[in-house]
Homo-oligomer: A and B are copies of this chain.
């Protein structure tokens, strides 16, 4: 039985997740923390609100996240030059170096995965993955996948435990 495209994509997602957990095990890093550091590396110093938006989480979670990263020496909280309510989360030099190495490994992995595709297939493959990503983005945006769950508002009452 051939697995569907969806199953293959989910398998890839799970491989990423497990492999990162393995790689970060024994360090202070986690996937979420690395995601935050990655954003700071690419965006530069950012307020916690900005981070919350980018990470798709709440300000509260970012507070805890930055606490952990600060404790581990990866970021510092700096005063915002214009807004005295806000803080600018900034990478330490050590974290900057880690993220630079991560970018190298990331680029290497990107190249290796691309190289795994038959050059004859590459153009069609790239068009395909772009189409899939666009379609999935739209579906997620429309909240049109329910995974067997009745949507809370429109569906019938399922709140009888």
The chain A residues found within 8 Å of chain B, CB to CB, are: 4-13, 15-20, 22-24, 26-27, 29, 34, 56, 72-73, 98-107, 109-110, 112-114, 116-118, 120-137, 139-140, 143, 145-149, 152, 158, 161
Contact check, B4 vs A110: say whether CB atoms are below 8 A apart. yes
**Interface pairs A-B: 10 shortest CB-CB:** A102-B148, A125-B128, A101-B148, A13-B13, A116-B135, A124-B124, A121-B124, A6-B110, A4-B110, A117-B128
Q: List residues of chain B with CB within 8 A of the CB of A102.
A: 147-149
Pick the contact of A105 from B29, B143, B148 — CB < 8 Å? Answer: B148
With both chains docked as a complex, state the minimum distance between the C-beta of A125 and any C-beta of chain B, in angstroms: 3
**Interface residues of A, dominant DSSP:** helix
Contact check, B147 vs A131: say whether CB atoms are below 8 A apart. no
Contact check, B158 vs A26: say whether CB atoms are below 8 A apart. yes
**Given A130-B8, A131-B117, A148-B103; A140-B110 close (CB under 8 Å):** no
Contact check, A24 vs B149: say whether CB atoms are below 8 A apart. yes
With both chains docked as a complex, state the minimum distance between the C-beta of A157 and any C-beta of chain B, in angstroms: 11
A4, A135, A148 pick with most chain B CB within 10 angstroms: A148
**Given A6-B106, A98-B148, A152-B26; A128-B133 close (CB under 8 Å):** no
State A101–B158 Cα separation when bound (angstroms): 15
